[in-house]
């Protein structure tokens, strides 16, 4: 086989529209004799029949006699081009009307041949070219279909319009069934009307771009991007070409991203609002918890004691929720600083067990702890956060297990020169979690409702645990079977401890401070009346010899201090009118006389993260008390700072 010739894998079809039966037969014979081409010839005798055949079948080329019973001359070609603008048409003319052939090629025919002047090989060559052109066209159509890009051209002066098959498909039209001419497009109802609109836009600056939406046959929204450019070919005469692209997937993913961003933003706003509401709630909670503690230490009959205990339990739950919300918002904003130091894993787990004992006892649950023997007892990490993660997981295990056991297993996953990677598995024999819900339980505010169970909680415990684990570079996951139980697992790295014990880790006996027997004075700077009362009463109950000087805000505190009263310690609220706690503390430290400037100052704050930002220290305050304060913590801190000589 001659390799220089293109090979045609399928037998091509050629349409011959010729009314002279014997001439048609002659052409058939000529073609069959040529070795250049093997094709099937379909014959029609009128233009009408020819157009109909083209409607139903694909032809590689059309041999068109211009003089037919139903159409003669140049009009025959025009009618055909108008209907099938992109077909390969070879015009057959007589010797006398050779000029017509030239005119036909100018108008868009592929070639012309003068009857009686060509042999079989010449005709076959022209047809081969047509067939190859057709193949190139169909490859282009195929590429357009895959890329979902169509193209179209329009030349109104020639009443020429061509749109690729993909252009039809992009408008949800079947290119085998519909065909639009230049005239069809002028109608505003035409599905191709947007092509005409953009065509108008190109007239001003030569090109235009527009994204449009259309509704597809099945009601689906399609996004199409149109680009068009105009070339001026004569005075006020333009040829119009454009491309059209389906950008539905891109638009939909953009919209999904937008919706996703919006959902994230909404969640963030929701958490911020909750965090600020919770923050505001801590002040009145301070009063409730404080007053409850005061009442509990007074003489009460049994009924009153029960009432007060109920108030205390409820306020502890409420405080837990508020603290969770504040913590998740701090974690979300990456405000938590992890503090690593040496600790004993065994002590930590035993302490957790001791704290959980009352709850475990209520349900008669067995709690087993198993630490793998190859894990050293002393680790280096943030023990407070580790306790918190385990506390949340154990709390849930108890909450969702009515009978059976809870088991904590700790194993070593990896050991390098610098660290241990440990895996904690908390297993319970509880109610389990449905398979379709397991992926969402770590999201904020997710609780799985169950008709026969009233669950308390905010749906924050697991998201806090997840963030605490992930922000330390670890990972957390859960496995569960409904009715059988769950296993919550997490992996965390712990640094190996160096040979030299860190000074901070040297165990010291807990310090016992002598109780204050001498009279002493506490200045309380606090704008909230009930809190003033709670602090005053709490201190007076503990120390009958205490003298309280009350200031309603920072400005008043400074005025009172300028009178140089004997003050041993100042309890300073942070958020106050006139002068806030930070400003007042720094004024006392930097602007006031030596004795006053050295008075110990304890910040009092409802901000659960004060220890993390250390701001109280920068403003010269010695320590802080978290509100609602635990009376014993307040007493210990006051005693400590009064017993300890403050560095001047």
Q: Which is nearer to ligand ADP, 286 or 458 (CB)?
A: 458
What residues contact residue 218 under an 8 Å CB cut-off, 6+ apart? none
Could you say which DSSP state residue 373 is in? T
Instruction: Tell whether residue 367 is a contact of ligand ADP (CB under 6 A).
Output: no
Minimum distance between the CB of residue 366 and ligand ADP, rounded to whole angstroms?
Answer: 15
Q: Return the range that interacts with ligand ADP (CB under 6 A); candidates 73-81, 176-184, 294-302, 443-451.
A: 443-451
Rounded to an integer, what is the distance from CA 75 to the centroid of its chain? 62
Instruction: Tell whether residue 433 is a contact of ligand ADP (CB under 6 A).
Output: yes
Minimum distance between the CB of residue 262 and ligand ADP, rounded to whole angstroms?
Answer: 24
3-state secondary structure of 382: coil
In the set 459, 555, 598, 620, which binds ligand ADP (CB under 6 A)?
459
Check whether the bond before 40 is cis (ω within 30° of 0): no
CA distance 331 to 465: 10
3-state secondary structure of 341: strand
Instruction: Tell whether residue 457 is a contact of ligand ADP (CB under 6 A).
Output: yes
Are 642 and 570 in contact by the 8 Å Cβ rule? The answer is no
In the set 108, 150, 381, 430, which binds ligand ADP (CB under 6 A)?
430
Q: Which is nearer to ligand ADP, 319 or 572 (CB)?
A: 319
Please return the burial class of 640, using the count of CB atoms within 10 Å of its CB with bins 0-12, 13-18 and 19+: middle
Q: Which is nearer to ligand ADP, 81 or 365 (CB)?
A: 365
* Cα 633-637-643 angle, rounded to 5 deg: 145
Are 513 and 639 in contact by the 8 Å Cβ rule? The answer is yes
Minimum distance between the CB of residue 457 and ligand ADP, rounded to whole angstroms?
Answer: 2
Paired tokens of 16: 């011959």
In the set 243, 369, 448, 596, which binds ligand ADP (CB under 6 A)?
448
In the set 124, 308, 431, 523, which binds ligand ADP (CB under 6 A)?
431
Paired tokens of 253: 């993913």
Minimum distance between the CB of residue 454 and ligand ADP, rounded to whole angstroms?
Answer: 11
Instruction: Tell whether residue 284 is a contact of ligand ADP (CB under 6 A).
Output: no
In the set 101, 461, 600, 631, which binds ligand ADP (CB under 6 A)?
461
Are 104 and 112 in contact by the 8 Å Cβ rule? The answer is yes
Instruction: Tell whether residue 446 is a contact of ligand ADP (CB under 6 A).
Output: yes
List, as one string, the DSSP characters of 48-114: HHHHHHHHHS--SEEEEESEETTEETHHHHHHHHHH-TTS-EEEEE-STTHHHHHHHHHHT-SEEEE
Instruction: Tell whether residue 390 is a contact of ligand ADP (CB under 6 A).
Output: no
CA end-to-end span of the chain: 106
Q: Which residue has the tokens 């009153």?
A: 304
Are 544 and 502 in contact by the 8 Å Cβ rule? The answer is no
CA distance 140 to 435: 49
In the set 91, 288, 356, 460, which binds ligand ADP (CB under 6 A)?
460
**Alpha helices for 417-501 (secondary structure H):** 461-470
Paired tokens of 236: 């006020």
Q: Which is nearer to ligand ADP, 110 or 396 (CB)?
A: 396
CA distance 292 to 534: 10
Instruction: Tell whether residue 397 is a contact of ligand ADP (CB under 6 A).
Output: yes
Closest CA to 148 of 163, 133, 173, 165: 165
Q: Which is nearer to ligand ADP, 17 or 441 (CB)?
A: 441
CA distance 176 to 138: 14
Instruction: Tell whether residue 327 is a contact of ligand ADP (CB under 6 A).
Output: no
Q: Which helix (H) or strand (E) holds 15?
A: strand 12-17
Instruction: Tell whether residue 458 is a contact of ligand ADP (CB under 6 A).
Output: yes
In the set 382, 428, 526, 580, which binds ligand ADP (CB under 6 A)?
428
CA distance 440 to 313: 30
Q: Which is nearer to ligand ADP, 191 or 457 (CB)?
A: 457
Are 338 and 471 in contact by the 8 Å Cβ rule? The answer is yes
In the set 47, 441, 576, 599, which binds ligand ADP (CB under 6 A)?
441
Q: Which is nearer to ligand ADP, 400 or 543 (CB)?
A: 400
CA distance 526 to 177: 84
Minimum distance between the CB of residue 494 and ligand ADP, rounded to whole angstroms?
Answer: 24
Instruction: Tell whether residue 400 is a contact of ligand ADP (CB under 6 A).
Output: yes
Q: Return the range that interacts with ligand ADP (CB under 6 A); candidates 325-333, 442-450, 519-527, 592-600.
A: 442-450
Instruction: Tell whether residue 185 is a contact of ligand ADP (CB under 6 A).
Output: no
What residues contact residue 314 under an 8 Å CB cut-off, 6+ apart? none
Q: Which is nearer to ligand ADP, 55 or 443 (CB)?
A: 443
CA distance 150 to 474: 50
Q: Which is nearer to ligand ADP, 289 or 441 (CB)?
A: 441
Minimum distance between the CB of residue 276 and ligand ADP, rounded to whole angstroms?
Answer: 21
Q: Which is nearer to ligand ADP, 71 or 396 (CB)?
A: 396
Number of residue whose CB is nearest ligand ADP: 457
Are 641 and 569 in contact by the 8 Å Cβ rule? The answer is yes
Q: Which is nearer to ligand ADP, 145 or 437 (CB)?
A: 437
Minimum distance between the CB of residue 339 and ligand ADP, rounded to whole angstroms?
Answer: 24
Count residues contacting ligand ADP (CB under 6 A)? Answer: 21
Minimum distance between the CB of residue 503 and ligand ADP, rounded to whole angstroms?
Answer: 38
Q: Return the range that interacts with ligand ADP (CB under 6 A); candidates 31-39, 411-419, 457-465, 547-555.
A: 457-465
Minimum distance between the CB of residue 458 and ligand ADP, rounded to whole angstroms?
Answer: 5
In the set 328, 462, 534, 539, which binds ligand ADP (CB under 6 A)?
462
Write out the binding residues for ligand ADP, residues 464-523 only, by CB under 6 A: 486
In the set 349, 396, 531, 584, which binds ligand ADP (CB under 6 A)?
396
Closest CA to 270 of 443, 396, 388, 439: 443
Q: Which is nearer to ligand ADP, 482 or 646 (CB)?
A: 482
Instruction: Tell whether residue 90 is a contact of ligand ADP (CB under 6 A).
Output: no
Summarize as ranges the residues that interact with ligand ADP (CB under 6 A): 396-397, 400, 428, 430-433, 441, 446-448, 455, 457-463, 486
């Amino acid at each position: 086989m001659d390799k220089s010739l293109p090979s045609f894998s399928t037998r091509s079809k050629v349409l011959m529209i010729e009314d002279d039966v014997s001439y048609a037969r002659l052409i058939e014979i000529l073609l069959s004799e040529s070795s250049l081409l093997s094709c099937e010839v379909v014959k029609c005798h009128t233009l009408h029949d020819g157009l109909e055949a083209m409607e139903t079948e694909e032809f590689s080329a059309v041999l068109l006699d211009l003089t037919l019973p139903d159409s003669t001359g140049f009009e025959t070609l025009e009618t055909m081009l108008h209907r099938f603008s992109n077909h390969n048409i070879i015009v057959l003319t007589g010797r006398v009307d050779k000029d017509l052939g030239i005119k036909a090629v100018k108008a868009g025919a592929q070639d012309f041949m003068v009857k009686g002047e060509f042999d079989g090989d010449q005709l076959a060559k022209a047809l081969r070219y047509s067939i190859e052109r057709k193949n190139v066209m169909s490859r282009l159509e195929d590429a357009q279909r895959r890329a979902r890009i169509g193209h179209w051209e329009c030349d109104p002066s020639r009443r020429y319009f061509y749109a690729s098959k993909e252009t039809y498909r992009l408008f949800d039209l079947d290119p085998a069934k519909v065909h639009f001419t230049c005239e069809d497009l002028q109608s505003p109802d035409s599905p191709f009307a947007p092509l005409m609109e953009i065509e108008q836009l190109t007239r001003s600056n030569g090109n235009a771009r527009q994204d449009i939406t259309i509704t597809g046959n099945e009601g689906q929204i399609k996004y199409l991007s149109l680009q068009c450019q105009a070339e001026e070919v004569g005075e006020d005469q333009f040829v119009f070409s454009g491309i059209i692209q389906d950008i539905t997937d891109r638009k939909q993913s953009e919209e999904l991203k937008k919706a996703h961003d919006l959902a994230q933003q909404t969640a963030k706003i929701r958490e911020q609002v909750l965090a600020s509401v919770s923050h505001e709630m801590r002040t009145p909670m301070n009063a409730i918890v404080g007053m409850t503690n005061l009442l509990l230490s007074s003489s009460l009959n049994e009924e009153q004691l029960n009432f007060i205990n109920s108030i205390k339990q409820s306020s502890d739950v409420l405080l837990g929720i508020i603290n969770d919300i504040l913590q998740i918002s701090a974690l979300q904003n990456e405000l938590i600083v992890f503090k690593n130091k040496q600790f004993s894993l065994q002590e930590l787990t035993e302490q957790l067990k001791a704290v959980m004992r009352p709850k475990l006892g209520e349900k008669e649950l067995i709690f087993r702890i198993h630490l793998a023997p190859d894990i050293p007892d002393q680790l280096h990490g943030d023990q407070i956060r580790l306790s918190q993660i385990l506390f949340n997981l154990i709390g849930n295990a108890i909450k969702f297990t009515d009978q059976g056991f809870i088991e904590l297993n700790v194993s070593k996953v990896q050991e390098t020169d610098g660290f241990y990677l440990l895996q904690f598995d908390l297993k319970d024999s509880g109610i389990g979690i449905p398979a379709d819900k397991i992926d969402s339980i770590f999201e904020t505010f997710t609780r799985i409702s169950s008709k026969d169970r009233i669950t308390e909680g905010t749906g924050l415990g697991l998201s806090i645990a997840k963030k605490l684990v992930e922000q330390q570079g670890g990972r957390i996951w859960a496995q569960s079977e409904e009715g059988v139980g769950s296993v919550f697992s997490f992996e965390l790295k712990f640094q190996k401890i160096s040979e030299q014990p860190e000074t901070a880790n040297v165990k010291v006996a807990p310090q016992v401070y002598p109780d204050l027997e001498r009279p002493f004075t506490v200045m309380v700077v606090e704008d909230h009346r009930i809190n003033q009362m709670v602090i005053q009463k709490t201190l007076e109950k503990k120390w009958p010899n205490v003298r309280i000087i009350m200031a309603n805000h920072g400005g008043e505190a400074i005025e009172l201090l300028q009178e140089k009263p004997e003050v041993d310690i100042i309890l300073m609220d942070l958020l106050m009118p006139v002068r806030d706690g930070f400003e007042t503390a720094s004024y006392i430290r930097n602007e006031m006389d030596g004795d006053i400037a050295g008075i110990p100052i304890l910040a009092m704050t409802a901000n659960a993260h004060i220890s993390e930002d250390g701001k109280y220290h920068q403003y010269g305050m010695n320590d802080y008390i978290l509100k609602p304060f635990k009376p014993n913590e307040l007493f210990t801190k006051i005693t400590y700072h009064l017993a300890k000589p403050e560095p001047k």
